[in-house]
Each structure stands twice: as structure tokens, then as C-alpha cells.
Amino acid sequence: MSFSRRTFQRFALGAAALPFMPALALAEGYPSRPVHFIVGFPAGSGPDIVGRIIAQTLSQKLGQSVVVENRPGAGSNLATADVAHAPPDGYMMLLVTTANVINANLYQNLNYNFSRDIAPVALLDSEPFVLEVTPAFPAKTLPEFITYAKANPSKVTMASAGIGSAPHIFGEMFQRMAGIQMAHVPYRGNPLPDLISGQVDMWIGPVQSSLEYIRTGKLRALAMTTKTRFDGLPDVPVVADFVPGYDAGGWLGVGTTNGTPASVIARLNQAINATLTDPDTKARLASLGDTVTPDTTAAFAKMLHQEVEKWGGVIREANIKLEQ
């Protein structure tokens, strides 16, 4: 799925011109009842945990309950569709994730259009991913890994959380940029037990799920996939040190139904940014390995457009298609 400049302008319409305090004045009556925060992943999952941390403090900032509702299914598409078709009044928010921009390119027959039907509200945090291997793997560094993979094409097994998942897409981009070819092994669940036992060789996954395994030596971190190092693993380099230009990571944000008044979106953005700077909330997210990234609605809209374009290019170049 590609987007023209005109499409992006519609995507960000109103966001770039939200006059901050005047818009807030127009939204004084919002919210007057509980706000529903829709999470397209199961209870207890990483996104759900972050969503509940945010909701707790956001309720205080808005003066109304923010109720988290889990609506998992179809890679978060069910939840996204529910918000896309909700009344445009700001009382239903969506936890937007990297999956949304991937799905916008991967699924051909969605009953919603992400860029048209979901209005950006605020960016929440960034979530570093790590390229890691089973401890028995012969490579101790990323350059050694690349050298080994080049000498053994299609013999190194790359686990993922399923076709079209972020680990899969991030891994495909890594293969192309590093000039290697691995054998993709998609899982329907968590591949970490098989990675630890050596049944698969590597995967690129969120650092939160692997941190303790890395620290205890059950997994070996070769590189962080983001532009900068991760404070929790300060000695682990970044992929871009050896594969220039590589940058992949997770993030979470908030969207709502398109057509929601700009004043309501401004009110939500202000309250969310206040939530992210709350010391307790910030510390709880940091304990998960996440870095809060408060920003404007316009900046989040621009980032979403760039992410759709970036991962759409990877999907097309790798010819990634869902199994029918």
C-alpha cells in the first residue's frame, strides 16, 4: 500500500494546526463519561501491560475512568476495526502499535483503512528490539554472525512470531541489508523456549521478553536493532554499527476514530503527554525497557506515515504474503 503526498496531508489534516491552549478551551466538557481504551492483544501481553499503566494515570489526568478492553484477534485488526467504525467523539481510543502499520500493507481486504479511519492522537513510547541467538551458536558477535550466515546460506534458522509479525519483518530487512539468507521459522506462540534450547538459531524480538534470559546467559544478545544502545544492556552494540542504516524497533501510541473534533484530540494529547511525564508512570515503563516519547499529534501523524511507507517497502521487496 503506497500513500501519495495528498493522502498524507489528509492523514495529518488538523494535527499540524492544533493551536494548543485554544483547542483545549473548546474541549472543556470532554470527557463527561468513561473513555474506553481498546487493546488488540490479550490480557497480560506486553502491549496490554503498557496500556494498563497508561490508563491508570490517564484516568487521573482526564478526571474520568479510562477502561482498558482487550479485543484480540487477526493481529489487532479486530480491535482497530471496532475503533475505526465507532462514533467520532473521543470516547473510544485504540492502542496503536507497529502491527497497525505492518497490517496496512499486509492485509488486502480489511474492512477499514488505517490511515483514513484512525486519527493519530499521541505517541506513547519506543520499545527496543534485540537480535539474539542461542548460546551454542558459533558466532559471538554480529559480524561473526553475518560471516557465518553468508558461508551457510539458508542454514541459519530465524524464528518469528508468525508471518507478517514485527520480528519477521524486521528480520527480512536485516537479511536484505546484511546480504544474507536465513530460513524463516514462524511460530504461532512464543519462540523463546525453542531458541533457548537451540531448536532455532536466532530471532529479533522485544527486549522486555528476553532481558533476564540475556542477563543470565540463557540467550546471547548480538545487537540492538534501534539507532541507539539500550541502557539495560549498555555493552550490546547496535546493528547499524555493522549494517549501516538499519533501524527497527517497536513503539506504542494512541489513536481514535477519524472525525473526532480537533479540540478533543488536543485534550487527549495534552493528558497523555502529562501521563508520560508522571514520575511513577515513567519509572514503571522504564522498568519494562520502554522509553517514553511525549510528542505532538502532528509529529505522531508524520511518524505513522513514514512507518507505513518503510515497512510497506520491505513487505513488497520480500514478497511477504499471508498464508491463505
285: nearest Cα among 272, 296, 298, 297: 272
Average pLDDT over residues 150-177: 96
Residue 27, pLDDT score: 57
CATH code, domain carrying 186:
3.40.190.10
Label residue 285 by pLDDT band (50, 70, 90). Answer: very high
Average pLDDT over residues 160-176: 94
Residue 246, pLDDT score: 97
Label residue 99 by pLDDT band (50, 70, 90). Answer: very high
Residue 3, pLDDT score: 46
Per-residue pLDDT tens for 225-275? 999 999 889 999 999 999 999 999 999 999 999 999 999 999 999 999 999
Average pLDDT over residues 167-191: 95
Label residue 189 by pLDDT band (50, 70, 90). Answer: confident
Record the cell numbers describing residue 57, joined without a space: 494515570
Indicate if 110 and 173 belong to the same structural domain.
no
| Contact call for residues 221 and 128 (beta carbons, < 8 A) | no
Residue 19, pLDDT score: 43
Indicate if 233 and 277 belong to the same structural domain.
no
Indicate if 235 and 292 belong to the same structural domain.
no
Residue 323, pLDDT score: 67
- Dihedral angle over CA of 151, 152, 157, 160, nearest 10: 40
Indicate if 108 and 16 belong to the same structural domain.
yes
Upstream peptide bond of 31 is cis (omega within 30 degrees of 0):
yes
Handedness of CA 72, 73, 74, 80 (dihedral sign): negative
Q: Using the structure block, give the residue that is written with the C-alpha cell 479540540.
A: 263
CATH code, domain carrying 254:
3.40.190.150
Residue 20, pLDDT score: 43
Is residue 187 included in any domain, yes or no? yes
Please say if the pLDDT value at position 21 is more than 80. Answer: no
Backbone dihedral region for residue 63 (phi beyond 0: left; psi -120 to 50: alpha; all else: beta)? left
Per the structure, the complete domain to which residue 274 belongs is given by: 5-127+249-318
Q: Using the structure block, give the residue that is written with the C-alpha cell 514520575.
A: 279
100 backbone dihedrals φ, ψ, rounded to 5°: -65, -40
Indicate if 99 and 61 belong to the same structural domain.
yes
How many distinct structural domains can be found in the chain? Answer: 2
Residue 322, pLDDT score: 84
Is residue 103 included in any domain, yes or no? yes
Least confident of 20-34, 199-213, 278-292: 20-34
Is residue 196 included in any domain, yes or no? yes
Whether the full predicted model's pTM is greater than 0.75, yes or no, is yes
Indicate if 223 and 285 belong to the same structural domain.
no
